[in-house]
Amino acid sequence: MLHSVVRNDLDFINETSLHLMAAGGKRFRPLFTLLAGQFGDPEHENVTKSAVVVELIHLATLYHDDVMDEATMRRGAVSANNRWTNSVAILTGDYLFSHASRLVADLGTDAARMIAETFGELVTGQLRETVGPVDGENPVNHYLSVIWQKTGSLIAIAGRFGGLFSGAPAEQVAALYEYGAVIGTAFQISDDIIDITSESADSGKTPGTDLREGVHTLPALYELAGDPKPRLAELLSGPITDEDQVQEALVMLRECEGMRQAKATLESYAERAANTLDALPDGSAKRALNALTRYVIDRTN
């Protein structure tokens, strides 16, 4: 259904809009919607339709993110902005947003409002990340809030849609929304950790990517808020372009107090996510969500 929804009479639009779909990806968000649908009637057509809406929005944001980040690769393939142009990538993202809007209109006004609110969170998070913390704002709190907006909010609505359109009880829909919000934030924290601790590109992301871009993720933010080694503070003062310096910074970050704090924060979020599942009935779907919660921790070890 995902492919058929975006089909166009113009071959070029088909090529650009299917570019990132063909590149792969975990499809975590739509899978979570379908899994959440198991707490009601998973065969309801609106469960599948809402899963497609969520994935289209996610894909659209990737096209736009790559333009903002001047990325050259995405999911192991050449990014759309690099293969074509920034304008093509932006317009392709807009094209996917338009199809998500068309589909969500079929789901009713409440669903349209929820998606509009979620889109507002996504954009606000991106803006806040772009401009950084305001004067007096704690950088760690700012960062955690931003990743909830940029990552957790869409995963939260994925869970809500699955429960809502399957007809699950209201308290279970609320639990699925909360679980998505927390586990989505936890996933981003685990990505931050993996970007530093991974010894190879097996994770799908070259270690030290954030350092090369001058992005301070949670381990670095915790370390800078404490008592960092002068050399590490110097390296973290901006983007690192020298590969030897990237490796030097990675070695120090792997063993620093900031990394230990980031791992403790990840465990705290995973525990919160697990606790939200208490409101859900036992069964294969709940077991799958519990396994997912454990995986978020295990993937960083």
- In this predicted model, what pLDDT tens digit does every residue of 33-78 receive, in sequence order? 999 999 999 999 999 999 999 999 999 999 999 999 888 888 778 9
In a shared domain, residues 5 and 79: yes
Query: Does some domain include residue 144?
Result: no
Query: Does some domain include residue 159?
Result: no
Query: Does some domain include residue 155?
Result: no
Q: Quote the pLDDT of residue 102.
A: 96
Q: Is the Cβ–Cβ distance between 102 and 53 less than 8 Å?
A: no
In a shared domain, residues 174 and 125: no
CA 289/CA 286 separation, integer angstroms: 5
Q: Quote the pLDDT of residue 69.
A: 84
Q: Is the Cβ–Cβ distance between 33 and 27 less than 8 Å?
A: no
Which residue has tokens 């670095």?
220
Query: Does some domain include residue 254?
Result: yes
In a shared domain, residues 208 and 288: yes
Q: Given 81, 115, 132, which residue is the final one in a domain?
A: 132
Full domain range(s) for residue 15: 1-132
In a shared domain, residues 105 and 208: no
- CATH code at position 226: 1.10.600.10
In a shared domain, residues 40 and 113: yes
Q: Please list, in sequence order, all residues whose beta carbon lies within 8 angstroms of the beta carbon of residue 131, skipping any fewer than 6 positions away.
A: none
Q: Is the Cβ–Cβ distance between 111 and 104 less than 8 Å?
A: yes
Global confidence as pTM = 0.93
Which residue has tokens 């990806």?
25
Structure tokens at 49: 């339709």
Q: Given 104, 132, 160, which residue is the final one in a domain?
A: 132
Query: Does some domain include residue 251?
Result: yes
In a shared domain, residues 189 and 116: no
In a shared domain, residues 124 and 184: no
Query: Does some domain include residue 139?
Result: no
Query: Does some domain include residue 149?
Result: no
Q: Is the Cβ–Cβ distance between 166 and 280 less than 8 Å?
A: no
Q: Quote the pLDDT of residue 200.
A: 62
In a shared domain, residues 90 and 186: no
In a shared domain, residues 173 and 284: yes
Query: Does some domain include residue 26?
Result: yes
In a shared domain, residues 192 and 258: yes
Q: Quote the pLDDT of residue 205.
A: 60
Q: Quote the pLDDT of residue 142.
A: 98
Sign of the CA dihedral with 123 first, then 159, 197, and 64 last: negative
In a shared domain, residues 174 and 301: yes
Question: Within the chain, which residues score under 50 in pLDDT?
Answer: none
- In this predicted model, what pLDDT tens digit does every residue of 86-105 receive, in sequence order? 999 999 999 999 999 999 99
In a shared domain, residues 201 and 269: yes
Q: Given 132, 160, 194, which residue is the final one in a domain?
A: 132
What total of structural domains would you count in the chain? 2
